[in-house]
Structure formats: structure tokens, C-alpha cells
Amino acid sequence: MALPPSVFTTVATNIKHHLYTKKGFNRLIVEKPFGKDTESSRKLVNDLGNLFTEEEIFRIDHYLGKEMVKNIMTLRFANIFLGAVWSKDYIDNIQITFKEPFGTEGRGGYFDEYGIIRDVMQNHLLQILSILAMEKPKSLDSEHIRDAKVDLLKSVKPIRKEDILLGQYIGSEDGVKNGYREDKTVPDDSITPTFAALTLFIENNRWKGVPFVLKSGKALDQLKTEVRIQLRDVQDPMFANLSRNELVIRVQPDEAVYMKMMNKKPGLSMDILISELDLTYNRRFPDSKIPEAYEALLLDAFSGDHTNFVRDDELDAAWKILTPILNQIDKEKIEPIKYAYGSRGPVEVNSFIEKYGFKRDQQLYIWDEPSNKSKV
């Protein structure tokens, strides 16, 4: 059901009455958004639960079908050298970034009702966070994995107002692209954010004190989704101008995993530079076909595998994290910061992430991507 949530119950009721079979199996695949807050989400869960069992319901979030998101568990739990540093003792901060280079053209009416936090963060980014930070599941059984994700989400502290930054795009600097409010389907005085940065803290022994910065926005400079894990500084350094090690998981485009590290510059000197251990999929697996996320998830649904689908209590835990701050944003009518279409977002985001310990490279670093060279 890739439909407006307002008709989920009506459609599901008719499916149950006219199409439900007792001879084979039934699969009800529900596309987001799963409500707008905790209350509406619970009502939707209850309404659908009166018609179908939890075993028959598959709440689909296509990011859970993306190759690099599915690879996070393997990276964490199949590699001892990564597992050993996966905690507050070695990790200083983590950023999860979602960028889109287009605005809401043609769907501003829908988007204005939800905003970027509900549209992207409540589902895609919280799902990535839960897999990144959860404890090791008891097994690869789908319920054990989802149990671990729920436990993690329940450990996230309430979000404070000072831990958010909101933005809304205006027209591009060259005048070619219109601003958000210039969309005819958007109210002229809309303060719905099209960009948001939220910082979450997890109250458990593994992650206490480590900031998880979630950033997402529309009408930005590029298409990119990535996880950037910045490790702590080297203690008592012998070398000058050290940059921090970073593990980067590029979800899209050009799937990759690379570790930024310090390396001796080739030659006779002892000068150092930033290099990388690079696993770029286009180079390492040139003949492999990575299926589209929906392809993989639909196959899982047909097979009855719930691993990469959202369980009812997981959904509730995610909404509990965001509903209080969403209510505060709506009540106080917080005005978003303006940023130009095609930019990197509000310029204030740089000081925002630095407030949580992020340090920029001491040297210029160029990563040789498959399609181009860019600063990262």
C-alpha cells in the first residue's frame, strides 16, 4: 500500500473482506509514512492489527533494503578489528547524512504536512542508527535482530531544543530554481523545515556521551547518503598535523566503505598525509549486480522474512524519540534558517556539528571516487 495514510485502514479493510485467503499466505506491505506522531502511529497500528496479524504485516522502509545498510551488521559483527573500537572508548562522534539535490517540486502539498523530520529522519535515519548502535543480537533470526533494535531505540535520551537546527530552502543563487514557499502547493507563510540536523545521545554503557548527529535535507548540492564515524584523537602524538581516523560507509551513490588514515608520504621524507583503506564496490565487485532496495525487500516479504521490516514496538519506540521535539517545534513555531537551493544547507550547520566534537581534517583530503574527485 503506497497510499496516503488516511486511506490505509479503508483499503486494508476491503483487502481483508474481499481478498484474504485461508488456503495460502497473506502479506500486507505498508509503505511509509506510518503516522505523524506517537498517537497517530498507535492508532494505525491498532487499526491494521484488528485486520491482520503482525506476522502478516510488513512495514517497508526501502533504506533497510539498501546494500550498504544491510552490510552494517557484517562490518560490525564479522570483523574483530572494527568490533573492538565500536564504543565510546574509541569513537568521538557519528554523523548520518541524507542529501537530495532536488526540492519538493510537485509534491509540496504532501511534504508540507510532514516535513523533513517525519519524512526522512523518523524512518530512514533512525533505522540506520539503530543498526549502527544496537548490541549484538542473539542470532540472525529476524526477531532477535528487531529485539536488539528496539532495545537500542529505548535507550535514546529525549531531544533537547538546543540539539536541533532547522532550515528551509529559498531560490538558487542563479535564480533558476524556486524556493520552497514559491511552490504553488505550499502555503506562502509555511515554516515547515526542508533541512534538519538533530543530535541524539544514547544512555547505555557502550555509547554514553557519544553524539549521533542526524542531518537530512532537500535542494542541496548533491545526492548522498553516508555514515561518518569519527574516532578520537591519537594520544600523545609523535607527528604534527594529525587528522582523525574516520570510517565512512557510503550508502548512495557509488556504494563504498573506506577508512581515512594517516600514512607516510612516499619518498625519503617522514612527511605524513591522509590516505585511505578503500573498498569501493564499483572497483572491487565490477561484475556484481546490486538489486534495487525494493526488489530485495519485496522478495523478503514474499518469503516471509521480517528481518528488514519495522515491527510495531520498534515503530512506537522511534516515534517516542521524535514526537516530543516535533510537538515543541510545532507549538513554538520555530522559524527555519534560510539556505539557497543547491547549497550545502544552512551555513550554521558547520558550527552545529563542531559543537558536538567533530573536527575537520588538518590537511586537504581528496577521495578518488569512481565517478569524480571530491572533497569529503
Q: What sign results for the dihedral spanned by CA atoms 74, 80, 82, 84? A: positive
Cβ(367)–Cβ(374) below 8 Å: yes
Asked if residue 253 has a cis previous peptide bond (ω within 30° of 0), the answer is yes
Give the span between the Cα atoms of 108 and 103, in whole angstroms.
9
Question: What's the pTM value of the predicted model, to 2 decimals?
Answer: 0.91
Give the span between the Cα atoms of 329 and 333, in whole angstroms.
6
Cell for 57? 504485516
Give the span between the Cα atoms of 140 and 77, in whole angstroms.
11
HSE toward the beta carbon, residue 174, CA cutoff 13 A: 4
Q: Beta strand 211-217 with 91-99: parallel, antiparallel or unpaired?
A: parallel
pLDDT tens for each residue of the chain, 376 residues long: 988 888 999 999 999 999 999 888 999 999 888 888 899 899 999 999 999 999 999 999 888 889 999 999 999 999 999 999 999 999 999 999 999 999 988 777 788 888 899 988 888 999 999 999 999 999 999 999 999 999 999 999 989 999 999 999 999 989 899 999 988 889 989 999 999 999 999 999 999 999 999 999 999 999 999 999 999 999 888 888 888 999 999 998 889 999 998 888 888 888 888 888 999 888 888 888 888 999 999 999 999 999 999 999 999 999 999 999 999 999 999 999 999 999 999 999 999 999 998 988 766 776 665 554 444 4
Provide the pLDDT for residue 376: 46
Provide the pLDDT for residue 29: 93
Cβ(251)–Cβ(68) below 8 Å: yes
Give the span between the Cα atoms of 47 and 259, in whole angstroms.
46
Give the span between the Cα atoms of 108 and 228, in whole angstroms.
30
Nearest one of 334, 20, 51 to 193, comparing CA atoms? 334
For 96, the 3-state DSSP assignment is: strand
Nearest one of 156, 159, 163 to 203, comparing CA atoms? 156
Residues with Cβ within 8 Å of residue 151, at least 6 apart in sequence: 134, 135
Give the span between the Cα atoms of 194 and 35, in whole angstroms.
19
Cβ(16)–Cβ(28) below 8 Å: no
Give the span between the Cα atoms of 369 and 56, in whole angstroms.
42
Q: Tell me the catalytic residues.
A: 124
Query: Around Cβ 308, how many Cβ atoms within 10 Å?
Result: 25
Q: Give how far the C-alpha of residue 103 lies from the chain's centroid of Cα atoms, to the nearest Å.
A: 18
Give the span between the Cα atoms of 66 and 361, in whole angstroms.
29
Provide the pLDDT for residue 374: 45
Provide the pLDDT for residue 3: 86
Cβ(150)–Cβ(142) below 8 Å: no
Asked if residue 33 has a cis previous peptide bond (ω within 30° of 0), the answer is yes
Nearest one of 69, 133, 57 to 315, comparing CA atoms? 57
Cβ(61)–Cβ(127) below 8 Å: yes
